[in-house]
Structure 1
Amino acid sequence: MPHYPYQHILLNKRGDTLFASAANSVFVFSISGTEATLISKWTDQIDPYYGIRKHHKDLMEKYEREQRELDEAGNNEKKQKAPKMPIPGPGAPPTFTYIRGMHLTRDDTHLIILTDNDKAAVVFKVNPLETGSPSSVLRLVKRQPFPKRPSAVTTSLDDKNILVADKFGDVYSVGLLDTEIQDEEKMQPLLGHVSMLTCIDSSVDENGKECVLTSDRDEHIRVSYYPKSYVIKKWLFGHKEFVSKFVLPSWSKGKVLVSGGGDNFICSWLWQAKEGGELVSQVSVDELVKNYLGDKHLVPEKFQNENHDFKEYCVSDIIPVDSCHKLAFIFERVNALFLFDLKDDGTLSYDKTVDTDADIISGTVSGDILILSVESEERPIVAYKIEKKGDTYDIRQIAGAFQAVSENRVEVQSDDSKQNVPLFTVGGLRKRREH
């Protein structure tokens, strides 16, 4: 059977540990030079029909409560049959159990994963391998469900709280180390957008006040104070389509924000500017990306042009490369990585393109090592060395690196592609207009 590619990969800051998720499993590898060793694996055992069973349980509790009230009133004529457990039929949408996202706390001591089926954030303490057996590398702290499905996660600047953004546009805060599970039905959001949230991060403004930054399925980037996040500091306007990703590169001391999404351009901002978020650069990427587009980028027939050749693309991730002050842009279902230089003043300029043998799914970097997950059965992991040459940097592929990462994966359980965990979902954020 074929194997799932890695949907998410994540290096810690020291570059000696790689976290990789495939389907409903998280693999932990120790990294030394160009060698990788599997040291731990966690597989989510949640019931695939957890959501259906929970909904049925809620209906049963309501039914039993209403029946007791009817019994007490002596009104047996209005009694109804108990609700049945809904069993998905052959034509029902597939039920997935997979990892929607991964995030390391700022001090690299905890791993937070987002699950799809039970709408939860699962928190693990990351223990050094030398402290015990491989099975103790990831120690479960808690599994916190949320009212709606999480779509992005970060932590407060002190790492004391997890900030979870969801598909309904709300942000919730829970204690990182608080082992008590909150009732998701009683949780109150910190802030809300009117559409699905796509990215979240924390920083400080020009006055040193902590802020939470959020982007959504519309064209909005919002800056709110934290923890009183109902107070909006400003909006960053400049995108026309959804914003899928933004980053705050460390070398700009948090002053510069770079964003991308469904537009044919990417943006950089001096978001702390007192007069509002100053848009510094709006760089077109059409000429760079168009030669890599194929039939998989064609829009649905009902939205096509007369020539039936209209294609769309979007940014799926942005990777800050601290060692050379560059940003690596991943475009969904594109077999190339696009590097841009970012100056401290927010100026963004194209540097080079790195072709890959397969479409890039995810990427991560630490120091001078860049690792990509690609849609390939034979070589699902590709690694690069970033080398300084005079005033420039060279990106050199490392042949045969991290072989153990490629060898330890999850087998695909179905030949039906519709039943398999989705790899490329960012393009689905695009809102299409009928007229």
Structure 2
Amino acid sequence: MKIPYHNAHVCKGIIFAGRSGQLHSFSAKDGSYVSTWKHPDAEKVSDAFKAIAQAEKVEVEKAETVKDDPSSTLQEDGDEPPAKRQKTAEAEDAGYAPTQSAPAEKSKGKDQAGKKKTQARGARSLVSKVPDRPLIAHITSTADGKHVVVITAHDKAIWVFEHDLAGNLKELSKRVMPKRPSSVVLSPDSQIICADKFGDVYAVPLIQSETWAPAPSRQVTSKPEANPLTVHSKRNLESLKSQLKQIELNKRDSPNTDGPAFEHTLLLGHVSMLTNVILGEQEGRRYVLTADRDEHVRVSRYIPQTHVIEAFCLGHKEFVNALTIPRSRNDILVSGGGDPNLFVWNWSSGKLLSKTDILSLAQRVFPTTSEVAVSQLESFDFPSDSGKVPFILAICENINAIFAWELTSENTLSHPSIIQLPGSPLHLTFNLEDESSPKVVVALDPGAEGATPSLNIYSFQLSEGTLATDTTSSVSESAAGESEDLVATETEVKALLYTVEHLRKKTGEAEEEVEKPAGASTEGQA
């Protein structure tokens, strides 16, 4: 099956959509194809699969030859040395043929079994030579649309492109982060705020400085701005100690490395794997909101005071994976993850305002569902006669639906609606350029049969407070072509794209997380 589109982003009338290591652009107006950028490693994967296909073809042809002419087995494969075959033939001509054929047959059987093992080892060797499959994990853009930022997961890289506002990209830079990024957001001051799976948040300039260079013969450690003399609360002091300990651990783990050879600043750190980062603003001051696998949502001040923790939003019992702040209600945060509920907060104070059950809605789609893994939360304002109405949208892993609620003035989620889909949604993004007709672009997994397009555009309509889809269109599927790097088994697609449920801790794992020293990493997070 083909790997489906698994994320999308709308930028100035252009839809950018990721599919494995390929980034396609389409017109948001009519879905027509514009261009493609391919990760350099995509060709390596294609070449490796071509080599495997050729090797399998040779093996099939060899097997067919043996089947048609069994006598060719010894001649082609050389199961016995030529001298031994000649002596055997001479003995048979002289009347001294072996009287017991069983040992010969047994030997032949061993030889055939040995050939099968050799072929199996050869196949495994070929597969092991396939490089890691490139995966576009995140797409975003600047407010003016002139720059597009892409995160690729397998090589931990941040790519920055110049955008001509017509869907064509020009590569400007590639920067490889110390650990694999899990979430990124662009700040108004042209900083890429990147959270990683090790628990750290870095700031990287959107455009690399031509004059910056690391100081010679020293390690780049990006120390925090604060020190124990400038921190005035116990909570913030503990956070600062955690960051300083993390820096020392990094030095110990890699004492002979100079770190990334580009400008970067360590802003803050969690003890646990980070899953999401967004920015908030209140009364002219910016904040960094981070979520982690340990059920925490932290509110920190923005640069240069990221060591100051403003609040914690505590109450989740499972991992937190999704965050959103509505544009028209920037004092409200909605969070979700592995819990059966979505949480509504006043994020600046950390006060929980309400909860909304999402599990019961998922059970209407799949009655046997016992747990949900919220993979994404988004918000947008729907135009109405009384003004803009904020809505919250959620998708869950392996649930073929979009769930939507109205965010009321009482800070509750009401008028729940279920928009059923022909496949499992992997990502959604909005096209709000026409405010009178908001649309959502959904990347979904149509399954092995692939009867449904994997990138669809839905229009919304509002009826008695409930959100529903009105019309549907799709983008051109032919843009991806027949590249070998887009072909995978259903099992491979699941392993590649369905990763949210894996954040849920298994029995006994929670105790291990508690005992882990501050700043330490869990195995496999890099």
Same fold (TM over 0.5): yes
Q: Distance in 1 between matches of 2:151 and 2:317?
A: 28
Deviation at 1:317, TM superposition (A): 0.7
Q: For this pair of structures, how many residues does the alignment match? A: 365
CA contact (8 A) 1:48 1:95 kept: no
Kindly report the root-mean-square deviation, in angstroms, between the aligned alpha carbons of the 2 structures.
2.8
The change in CA–CA distance for 1:372 and 1:242 in structure 2 (over 3 A counts) is same
1:150 aligned residue (181, 184, 198): 181
> Equivalent residue for 1:57?
none
What is the CA–CA distance in structure 1 between the aligned matches of 2:138 and 2:425, rounded to whole Å?
16
Contact preservation (8 Å) 2:331, 2:347 = yes
Q: Aligned equivalents of 1:245 and 1:105: distance in 2?
A: 21
Amino acid at match of 2:195: A
Q: Aligned to 1:115, which of 152, 161, 165?
A: 152
SS of the aligned residue for 1:4 comes to coil
Give matches, 1:115-264, under 5 Å: 115-129=152-166, 137-156=168-187, 158-178=188-208, 180=210, 184-185=259-260, 187-205=264-282, 207-227=283-303, 228-252=305-329, 254-264=330-340
Equivalent residues in 2 for 1:274-423 (5 A)? 276-293=349-366, 311-323=370-382, 324-367=389-432, 368-376=438-446, 377-379=450-452, 380-389=454-463, 391-392=464-465, 394-399=467-472, 401-404=473-476, 406-409=477-480, 411=482, 413=485, 416-420=489-493, 422-423=496-497
5+ unaligned residues in a row in structure 1: which ranges?
51-86, 298-310
Query: Whose helix fraction is larger, Structure 1's or Structure 2's?
Result: 2
| Residue identity in the other structure for 1:194 | V
The C-alpha deviation readout for 1:220-266, integer Å capped at 9, x for no partner, is 111111112111111111111111010111011x1111010000100
Determine the C-alpha separation between the residues in 1 that align with 2:363 and 2:466: 25
Native 8 Å contact 1:99 1:114 kept in 2: yes
**Residue 294 of structure 1, CA deviation:** 7.6
* Distance in 1 of aligned mates of 2:408 and 2:146: 31
User: 1:212 and 1:315, CA in 2 relative to 1: closer, same or farther beyond 3 A?
Assistant: same
- Kindly state the Cα deviation for residue 185 of structure 1 after the two structures are TM-superposed: 3.9
Mapped to 2, the partners of 1:277 and 1:179 lie a distance apart of: 37
For residues 86-121 of structure 1, the C-alpha deviation after alignment (integer angstroms, 9 at most, x for no partner) is x98867998221111112223333211111222111
Contact 1:48 1:96 in 2 (8 A): no
TM-score (norm 1): 0.77
1:179 shift after superposition: 5.1
Contact kept? 1:106, 1:159, Cα under 8 Å: no
Opposite residue 408 of structure 1, the aligned amino acid is A
Deviations 1:340-399 (A, max 9, x none): 11124532224211111211111111231122122112221333221245x535523424
Q: Is the 8 A contact 1:262 1:314 kept in 2?
A: yes
Whether 2:344 is the aligned partner of 1:268: answer yes
Cα–Cα, structure 1 residues 287 and 417, in superposed 2: closer, same or farther, change >3 Å? closer
Secondary structure of the structure 1 residue equivalent to 2:480 = coil
Q: 2-side partners of 1:93 and 1:294: how far apart?
A: 40
Matches of 1:161 and 1:359 in 2, distance apart?
A: 33
Q: CA deviation at 1:211?
A: 1.0
2:133 corresponds to which of 96, 113, 122: 96
- Paired amino acid for 2:396: F
Which of the numbers 496, 499, 505 marks the counterpart of 1:431?
A: 505
Secondary structure (helix, strand or coil) at the match of 1:250 reads: coil
Kept in 1, the 8 Å contact 2:405–2:417? The answer is yes
Name the SS for the 2:497 alignment partner.
Answer: coil
CA contact (8 A) 1:148 1:167 kept: yes
- Residue 321 of structure 1, CA deviation: 2.5
CA distance in 1, matches of 2:160, 2:192: 9
Change (3 A) 1:281 1:410: farther
| 2: CA distance, partners of 1:93 / 1:37 | 33
More strand by share: 1
Partner AA of 1:162 in structure 2: I
Find the partner of 2:19 among 19, 22, 29. 22
Contact 1:199 1:244 (8 Å CA) reproduced = yes
- Secondary structure at the counterpart of residue 496 of structure 2: coil
Q: 1:148 to 1:36 in 2, by over 3 A?
A: same
Return the alpha-carbon distance in structure 2 between the equivalents of residues 92 and 294 of structure 1: 43
Q: Tell whether the 8 Å contact from 2:2 to 2:488 is kept in structure 1 after alignment.
A: no
- How far does residue 49 in structure 1 lie from its aligned partner after superposition? 9.2
Whole-angstrom CA distance in 2 between matches of 1:171 and 1:49:
31
Q: Give, in whole Å, the separation in 1 of the partners of 2:405 and 2:488.
A: 39
Query: Which TM-score applies when normalising by structure 2?
Result: 0.64
TM-fit CA distance, 1:48: 9.1
Other-structure match for 1:69: none
Measured in 2, the distance between the counterparts of 1:410 and 1:427 equals: 31
One-letter code aligned to 1:30:
S
Cα distance between partner residues in 2 of 1:251 and 1:168? 33
Q: Which has the larger radius of gyration?
A: 2
2:376 is aligned with what amino acid? D
Change in 2 beyond 3 A, CA 1:4/1:47: closer
2:467 & 2:266 partners in 1: Cα distance?
45
Q: Give the structure 2 partner of residue 3 of structure 1.
A: 2
Name the SS of the counterpart of 1:251 in structure 2.
Answer: coil
Structure 1 residue runs of 4 or more that deviate by more than 6 Å after TM superposition: 47-50, 91-94
Residue 154 of structure 1 aligns to a residue whose secondary structure is: strand
Do structure 1's residue 39 and structure 2's residue 38 form an aligned pair?
no
In structure 2, the CA distance between the partners of 1:91 and 1:434, relative to structure 1 (3 Å rule), is farther
* Contact residue 10 and residue 18 of structure 1 kept, 8 A: yes
Aligned-partner SS, 2:195: strand
